[in-house]
Structure 1
Amino acid sequence: MNERLHSVLAQRGVSPESLAEACEVDPKTVTRWLGGRLPHPRHRFRVAHHLRVEELFLWPAPVLSAGRPSAGSGVELVGTYQNRASVPREMWLSLLQGAREQISVLVFSGTFFAQSNPHVAKMLAERAAAGVRVRLCFGDPNGHAAAIRGREEGIGDTLAAKIRASLTYYRPLVTEAGCEVRLHDTTLYTSLFRYDDDLLINPHVWGQPASANPLLHLKRVDSAGWFDNYAQSFEAVWAGARPWTPDQEVSSSHGQD
């Protein structure tokens, strides 16, 4: 079953019959797509265009078996987006809800992560209760890295305020088993959002907010690829970050994810 196609149809309020009409195919054909059959390339394009979603989200590139080209050749790259806002909300939700082992997030403030989904803390707690390891790493609002980033973006102390505001959404997670929230004070070149073997990478361009920069979707193939390089950078930052203790935090005059 193509759960992603089912989900997007429900989110968009589009019936299988109307999708069939838009794609000029028999409704039974759409039923087969929903059941897991891979459409012809021209139909995949029309479905994605009609539903306003990336084709690779609905039909991810298959993971190749022995004899595949090396991961460094780009096999792991399954999707690109002009900016973070171009990523369908349904994709964020689907990846979060589909995680079975880990959810790892590395940002400065990550305000969009909660504002685009007011129930994100509850959903993360539910995944943790199901055995998923949840790790959220935000910029330290009192740190030098956030202050420097704020100056580079021309927003001054606003970044530190955004971090504090964003953290309020995740306060309930501090006491949840399986959930950890930490603060880092590192130069952040890329925001990372990992859901098991899916990794969304949001590179940072100097002087621009992360929301205005491209986003890449990687799917892990093997340990020699891009995926693991970025995953290891998360682990390095996480190891040096300090636990967030809301009741002990103090405001600072220092310092967008």
Structure 2
Amino acid sequence: MNKIVENDVVPPTASLSPVPASGGLLAGKVAFVTGAGRGIGAAAARLFAEEGARVLLAARSQDQLEAVAGEIRAAGGVAEHVVCDLADPVSVRAAVDRAVQVFGRLDVAFNNGATGQPPGPLDELAEADFDQLYAVNLKGAWVAMSAEIAAMRATAGRGAIVNTSSVGALTANPQLPAYGALKRALNALTASAAATYGPENVRVNAVAPGTTLTELLREWDERSPGTVDALNARTPLGRAAEPREIAEAAAWLLSDRASYVTGAVLRVDGGMLA
């Protein structure tokens, strides 16, 4: 079933909205963000708008999207939203198409949306849970990248994509084995896309967050008290990141200031894997 719901009111002049040529890291760009209802995605949507982008927010929760988009508009930014399920390829393609319909082009995309797994050894993970992880965290990202590249080719003629990986994909991950494995596969997909589309001036990179104070992490800490403290003890900076700190790295990679960076997996982990 197609799980896509558009916001009811789209300004008829949205695609013609004037944006200053300078004054922000992403000024003049149209940005597409998945997982934008909360956590890193919501922080990124706010930041990208502050940096001059017109932003299309995508996530599963209509209420969360409306709240974040409303905050952006109240602060003077330009944002619209679309409900999108990353496990549904039709929904994902329609969401990317919506960015072009609303704003007339697509310049940058932040594929941040993901789902987590119950912590524990791989033999205790249900097959249905693994299938859902694959559908969202790897196949969903692949579908999104394919649609984004097509949209960039057809409109801007160039572009930049950032995928959200994890430091858990860069080392053994006994507590989140399937999550780590699929994020490692996403790193490989990122590198392959960078090599393939670099000649078309489409850059593809990833950020690998360390301990970050998202809802998913807080839920894990509630189920297993002391999780965050233990992770912070392994981190040279001695603390967890705020979601906006991850968003800042993504914004730089998407901006023209990172014009010679592609195929990279940028650790934003407080030194955890130093």
TM-score range, shorter chain: 0.3 to 0.5
What TM-score do the two structures reach when normalised by structure 1? 0.39
Task: State which structure, 1 or 2, has the greater radius of gyration over its C-alpha atoms.
Answer: 1
What TM-score do the two structures reach when normalised by structure 2? 0.37
Where relative contact order (Cα < 8 A, 6+ residues apart) is larger, the structure is: 1
